[in-house]
């Protein structure tokens, strides 16, 4: 079909691609640019899907990353409902689902992640996964008539949805293999704190339990557990993580890294010199952490989009941003953290977990690798400095917090 040339092609419709587009124009890039996404809408923010979109003002909430006219004003050609089916890195072409072939000078792969699913047999109704706004609208509509909801998983997403549904008045049970929500990622102290918050709002927690399968006739009516127990359910929400969407990259022959993301160097360049990657799909060598990382947080995806944009323009500066994440549990609690809290071997707590104002500092071999805080946001700046400086005299540094 049509054979159009663009200097830069952005593939994917999330914050990473949107941020790259903005950074390119901000830096004065005046070449041609197109963004191709398989979504119905231009890039939007996903975090409200588990929060505001399940709340009372859901319909009025605006998720767009850029205002509607930003794209035309900045001369970025938008191809919505246009999955890129294949990428030929030798010919520098991308083929869209409608058959359009785009020739590109350089490309960014920002294809994000896909939800991890559980087998549901022939059941077609009542089992929810949250990735796009329509998923939240459907869940909210069903929650109005639901008496009991079962949340599968002890992830951020499951915990946020449990809080949001409980705030809507639904009876919620969470099922997870961990001893408490997020205990595996952030330790028993944080896990027990969150369990306490949820229990105080009448969320039932079944920890150390796993789902064996679902029951129902067409629509789910219960959840069977490995322990033999059966939980009645009017609806189920599964929040057991996401996997990087590397289908297009793998088909194009790009190298995939050990974390399952597209393998990139420290500037976010892939194994193909004219193709960069950013966001949830990108595994990169972090010069700050001295190892390979893949992170699934919105702020990080936006920051990587900006780094990749600079790379597309030939700037070889490495990506140095320390990953940042926040989570809101209805309006009861806000947790923020910096650094990926993986591979830590010791933790320290300042403040009081019981009072809900605390910071947990995660250490590996005497160095700070991450920190999670509730109610002490100024500790985040300290944590960023300590992670970046790789200091080992943490006793002195933490004594002043």
Ligand X SMILES: Cc1cc2nc3c(=O)[nH]c(=O)nc-3n(C[C@H](O)[C@H](O)[C@H](O)COP(=O)(O)OP(=O)(O)OC[C@H]3O[C@@H](n4cnc5c(N)ncnc54)[C@H](O)[C@@H]3O)c2cc1C
Is residue 78 at the binding interface for ligand X, with CB under 6 A as the rule?
no
Contact 54/329 with Cβ under 8 angstroms? Answer: no
Q: For ligand X, which residue of 42, 257, 279, 311 counts as binding (CB under 6 A)?
A: 279
Q: Which of 140, 269, 285, 297 binds ligand X (CB under 6 A)?
A: 297
Is residue 306 packed enough to be buried (19+ CB in 10 Å), middle (13-18) or exposed (0-12)? buried
Closest by CA to 213, choosing from 175, 252, 247, is: 175
By CB under 6 A, name the one of 34, 50, 223, 254 that touches ligand X: 50
Instruction: For residue 231, state whether it binds ligand X (rule: CB under 6 A).
Output: no
Q: Report the distance separating Cα 57 and Cα 54, nearest Å.
A: 8
DSSP annotation of 321: P
User: Which member of 327, 373, 374, 382 binds ligand X (CB under 6 A)?
Assistant: 327
Position 398 contacts ligand X (CB under 6 A)? no
**Residue ranges in 259-278 that form contacts with ligand X under rule CB under 6 A:** none
Is 107 near ligand X (CB under 6 A)?
no
Beta bridge partners of 264: none
Q: For residue 32, which phi and psi values (nearest 5 degrees)?
A: -80, 145
Piece of 68-76, 215-223, 290-298, 306-314 that binds ligand X (CB under 6 A): 290-298
Stretch that binds ligand X, among 34-42, 255-263, 264-272, 330-338 (CB under 6 A): 34-42
Q: Report, in Å, the least distance between residue 234 CB and ligand X.
A: 21
Non-local (6+) Cβ contacts of 12 within 8 A are 35, 36, 37, 108, 109, 110, 111, 112, 279, 281
Strand partners, 371: 338, 361
Three-state secondary-structure class, residue 224: strand
| Nearest distance, CB of residue 243 and ligand X, angstroms | 11
3-state DSSP call for residue 362?
strand
Least spacing, CB of residue 159 vs ligand X, in Å: 11
Residues 8-27 that bind ligand X (CB under 6 A): 11-17
Nearer to ligand X (CB atom), residue 14 or residue 153: 14
The residue from 38, 179, 364, 391 that contacts ligand X (CB under 6 A) is 38
Q: What is the per-residue burial (b if ≥16 Cβ within 10 Å, else e) of 270-286?
A: bbbeebbbbbbbbbbbb
> Interface residues with ligand X (CB under 6 A)?
11-17, 36-39, 46-47, 49-50, 83-84, 110-113, 130-131, 157, 245, 248, 279-280, 296-299, 301, 325-327
């Amino acid at each position: 079909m049509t054979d159009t040339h663009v200097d830069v092609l952005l593939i994917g419709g999330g914050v990473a691609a949107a941020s790259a587009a903005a950074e390119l124009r901000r830096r004065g890039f005046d070449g041609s640019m197109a963004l191709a996404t398989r979504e119905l809408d231009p890039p939007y923010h996903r975090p409200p899907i588990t929060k505001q979109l399940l709340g009372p003002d859901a319909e009025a909430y605006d998720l767009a990353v850029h205002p509607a006219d930003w794209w035309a004003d900045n001369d970025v050609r938008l191809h919505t409902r246009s999955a890129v089916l294949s990428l030929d890195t030798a010919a520098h072409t991308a083929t869209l689902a409608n058959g359009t072939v785009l020739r590109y000078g350089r490309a960014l792969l920002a294809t994000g992640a896909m939800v991890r699913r559980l087998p549901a047999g022939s059941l077609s109704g009542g089992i929810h996964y949250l990735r796009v706004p329509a998923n939240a609208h459907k869940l909210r509509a069903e929650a109005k008539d639901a008496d009991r909801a079962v949340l599968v998983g002890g992830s951020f997403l499951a915990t946020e949805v449990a809080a949001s549904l409980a705030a809507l008045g639904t009876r919620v049970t969470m099922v997870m293999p961990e001893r408490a929500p997020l205990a595996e990622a952030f330790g028993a102290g944080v896990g027990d704190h969150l369990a306490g918050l949820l229990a105080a709002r009448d969320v039932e927690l079944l920890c150390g339990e796993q789902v064996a399968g679902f029951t129902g006739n067409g629509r789910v009516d219960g959840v069977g557990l490995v322990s033999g127990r059966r939980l009645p359910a009017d609806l189920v929400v599964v929040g057991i993580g996401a996997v990087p969407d590397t289908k297009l990259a793998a088909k194009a022959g790009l190298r995939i890294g050990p974390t399952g993301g597209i393998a990139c160097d420290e500037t976010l360049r892939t194994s193909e010199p004219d193709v960069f990657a950013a966001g949830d799909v990108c595994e990169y060598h972090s010069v700050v952490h001295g190892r390979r990382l893949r992170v699934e947080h919105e702020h990080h995806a936006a920051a990587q989009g900006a780094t990749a944009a600079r790379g597309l323009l030939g700037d070889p500066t490495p990506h140095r941003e320390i990953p940042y994440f926040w989570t809101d549990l209805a309006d009861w609690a806000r947790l923020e953290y910096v650094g990926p809290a993986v591979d830590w071997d010791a933790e320290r707590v300042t403040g009081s977990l019981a009072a809900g104002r605390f910071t947990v500092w995660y250490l590996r071999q005497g160095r700070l690798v991450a920190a999670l805080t509730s109610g002490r946001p100024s500790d985040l700046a300290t944590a960023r400095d300590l992670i970046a400086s790789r200091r080992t005299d943490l006793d002195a540094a933490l004594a002043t917090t």
